[in-house]
Amino acid sequence: MASPFSSIFLIFVSIFAAFSTSRSSTIGVGYISRLLEIQDRERAPAYVQVAAARGVLHRLLPSHLSSFDFQIVSKDKCGGESCFVIRNHRAFRKPGDPEILIAGVTGVEILAGLHWYLKNWCGAHISWDKTGGSQLFSVPKAGLLPRIQTDEIVIQRPVPLNYYQNAVTSSYSFAWWDWKRWEKEIDWMALQGINMPLAFTGQEAIWRKVFHKFNISNSDLDDFFGGPAFLAWSRMGNLHKWGGPLPQSWFDQQLILQKKVTGRMFELGMTPVLPAFSGNIPAAFKHIYPSAKITRLGNWFSVHSDPRWCCTYLLDATDPLFVEIGKAFIEQQQKEYGRTSHIYNCDTFDENTPPVDEVEYISSLGAAIFGGMQAGDSNAVWLMQGWMFSYDPFWRPPQMKALLHSVPLGRLVVLDLYAEVKPVWISSEQFYGTPYIWCMLHNFAGNVEMYGILDSIASGPIEARSSPYSTMVGVGMSMEGIEQNPVVYDLMSEMAFQHNKVDVKKWLYQYSIRRYGHLVPSIQDAWDVLYHTIYNCTDGANDKNRDVIVAFPDVDPSSILVLPEGSERHGNLDSRVDSLRLGDAMFDRPHLWYPTSEVTRALKLFIAGGDQLSGSNTYRYDLVDLTRQALAKYSNELFFRIVKAYQLYDAQTMANLSQEFLELVNDIDTLLACHEGFLLGPWLQSAKQLAQIEEEEKQYEWNARTQITMWFDNTEEEASLLRDYGNKYWSGLLGDYYGPRAAIYFKFLKESSENGYRFQLSNWRREWIKLTNDWQSSRKVYPVESNGDALDTSHCLYYKYLQRLESFDQ
């Protein structure tokens, strides 16, 4: 039976399939050919990969388990590259027989092929549960699946590697995951074609065993490891002990979990990236090894350089002890996991600048770091985040070349971490001949913000790969936090198999049909607006969400520059006023890059399509998110109007607008409660569920609450320098924290206005910090299930604030 979706996609797929069998590898792929050959040789047996792939199918679409047959094929079938093949099954005669055969070089390619078929022939959509989950009701019943209209469809990867994660995603998103959640994520990775994810879970248990060999005690390590929500930064040497110490149950639990995670990744044919030694060591080393070359690093965002958690110790890579520890760590991982993928992540210089810029010294550092890996694994390949090349002025061409050329060609792969905004491959002559992966960073700290650069995603990887003498070897997603902006990740995942630039307008037309399972004209029009506004950010700014509600300004209101009416509404702020240093505080203006009236119009169109899509969970998520986005930008405008009234001594207007702001915060909190993707409760509950005893539960919950509020240390009158970096638009957080915080500020604003004295900044800080610290230690339980009708709530809030929203551009 032909599906209506099959005719829509048939022409595109046929043309694409004909092209996709052509070889398109770069010279960079040739440099890593040895690694690829070793991985092919050591990959799990075909029957193991097929069984693992069928397990994913069973969890995704159990009603169609008999409809699909999976096979592993050699690269010869794919012209020497990795690919998947889709064709009609010859054995199909009646319902219950296999209908579609999907073959692939690995289990990942098989599942990417399954996703490709479900997407392009059945109009299905696969997303994270928190962002609406999968839309599979458009898939015809077993026995009635759409047939392939050609002999076969062959889709080849243009480059072999598809990377996933950031070094801090493990804390911003994965911190509290159990095996059930990890299994879901690995399924999602495979369906997106991801074959090279980071595998960082449980490494503290490995480190403890390794450091014991160097006479470091458990009490020494209690001072070294961060708490569960801050492990990413203690691993990188940014901090120590903050949120800790780790209980024994954590070490045991996480190591067991990591073995399951890496085991499943290997079963599917993935290449999990394991950690390597970067030089980060416990303080006790300086006493036990007094002659070792050990440097104490400077302060990393701690208030007053508090030695309890700042200023960690780094072992110089040229010290003989460095190779010993590096070797021991890799060997211990091999012993625990039973195997390795030979690729290791190490970021010694991520936010840690070398002490001197002499190229000979930098070259010796790079060679020594790699030597530590190679001593434990003769086939080791170093995977390095290239983040420092995009922001740290230390890395000028000579220094960059010295580091990149310190490792044999093909044994170092760099992540061009922020390529969709600040591509380093262009300015560095393709990393001076070093293989690299084109990555999309997109998100900071798991902030909730509708944002993206779809045109850059749809063209950037193609331009990099097709450029002269390209050393590109893969694509990747390197976001700090996941489960947001599903459209961005759907498109970026597809780029792992795209050989040509994607026409985003046409792609979005099909995306909205797949995501909701229906063609709704007003929804199509809304997505066209969103494409040209929210998802067309070209100002080059880092999109760290600084909306006033979630990142309230800690400044004297008299010092805030209130811009002319309309300048903030149109998204045309002068970059010189994006950040203002006011006294001892930094005020980051909220990021706005589009006309708010256009997004308000898109919201109106979205609401209009609600009657046809009210049963769609994906629609509910997008509706809540878009309503939140529109109201959040309005709240920024409202705040500046409050400040303007204060500066003009208009106490009545200031009071009225302040009350309206607080009411708006509560309204948004109610809105967010309408979808489970915007709840505080699951984050806290998942943290507590990992605890074995009450003390652990308190510690884990404090970690979870602190990361999304104050983040790091504070005094009674000085807030953390990282406050609100991990902010979230979550129901419960707005009602019980962000709203009360704003109310405190407005209270002091009112007192200042009525009594004629300056704003009491220190008193505001003292009261706000106390609120924060009390909230971090609170044990209040929050809902883990949604409550309320998303369409009705969005509709009511739209009309409640309609005149204000539409007045933005009048």
Gap between the Cα atoms of 254 and 227, Å rounded? 13
3-state secondary structure of 349: coil
Strand order of the sheet with strand 100-104?
A: 68-72, 100-104, 83-88, 153-156
DSSP 102: E
**Residue of 167, 15, 191 whose CA lies nearest to 108:** 191
DSSP tag of 590: P
Give the DSSP letter of residue 475.
E
The two tokens of residue 342 are 């030979």
In angstroms, rounded to a whole number, what is the distance separating the alpha carbons of residues 640 and 642? 5
What are the backbone dihedrals phi and psi of residue 758, each rounded to the nearest 5 degrees, phi first? -60, 155
Long-range contacts of 328-331 (CB under 8 A, 24+ apart): 328/210, 328/213, 328/214, 328/376, 329/206, 329/207, 329/210, 329/275, 329/276, 329/277, 329/376, 330/274, 330/276, 330/277, 330/372, 330/373, 330/375, 330/376, 330/377, 330/380, 331/376
Interatomic CA distance for residues 305 and 311, integer angstroms:
7
Helix (H) or strand (E) holding 810: none
The residues, any chain, with a CB within 8 Å of residue 363's CB and separated by 6 or more, are 402, 403, 405, 406
| pLDDT given for residue 569 in this prediction | 57
DSSP secondary structure of 621-689: HHHHHHHHHHHHHHHHHHHHHHHHHHHTT-HHHHHHHHHHHHHHHHHHHHHHTTSGGGBSHHHHHHHHH
Q: Are 148 and 86 in contact (CB under 8 A)?
A: yes
388 contact partners, CB below 8 Å, separation of at least 6:
349, 350, 351, 353, 394, 395
3-state secondary structure 263-325: HHHHHCCCCCEEECCCCEECCCHHHHCCCCCEEECCCCCCHHHCCCCCCCEEECCCCHHHHHH
Strand ranges, E, within 67-122: 68-72, 83-88, 100-104
CA distances from 628 to 672, 719, 727 (A): 8, 27, 14
Indicate the residue type of 673: A
Angle, alpha carbons 643-644-650 (nearest 5°): 100
Measured CA to CA, the distance from residue 348 to residue 277 in angstroms comes to: 8
Q: Is 389 exposed, middle or buried (0-12, 13-18, 19+ CB in 10 A)?
A: buried
Q: Is 806 helix (H, G, I), strand (E, B) or coil?
A: helix
Q: Which residues contact 57 (CB under 8 A, 6 or more apart)?
A: 64, 65, 68, 70, 111, 114
Question: Residues 162, 476: contact at Cβ < 8 Å?
Answer: yes
Contact 135, 490 (CB under 8 A): no
- The secondary structure of 167-217, three-state, reads CCHHHHCCCCCCHHHHHHHHHHHHHCCCCEEECCCCHHHHHHHHHHCCCCC
Mean pLDDT of the chain, nearest integer:
93
Do residues 387 and 418 touch, judged by C-beta distance below 8 A?
yes
| Dist. CA 616–CA 610, nearest whole Å | 9
Sequence letter at residue 450: M
Predicted pLDDT of residue 561: 87
Report CA-CA distances (Å) from 3 to 61, 63, 119, 148, 715.
18, 18, 12, 11, 63
| Among 616, 720, 736, CA closest to 666 | 736
pLDDT at 1: 42
Give first-to-last CA distance, the chain, whole Å.
53
Helix (H, G, I), strand (E, B) or coil at 731: strand
- Within 10 A of 91 (CB to CB), how many other CB atoms are there? 10
**pLDDT < 50: residue spans in the chain:** 1-4, 6-23, 573-585, 808, 810
Structure tokens belonging to residue 503: 């026409």
pTM confidence score: 0.95
C-alpha 586/C-alpha 584 separation (Å) is 7
Q: What is the DSSP string of 529-575?
A: HHHHTTTB--S--------TTTS---S-GGG---PPTTTTTTT---G
Map tokens 């243009």 to a residue. Answer: 158
Helix (H, G, I), strand (E, B) or coil at 240: coil
Distance CA 425, CA 736 (A): 45
Rounded to whole angstroms, the Cα distance separating 345 from 276 reads: 6
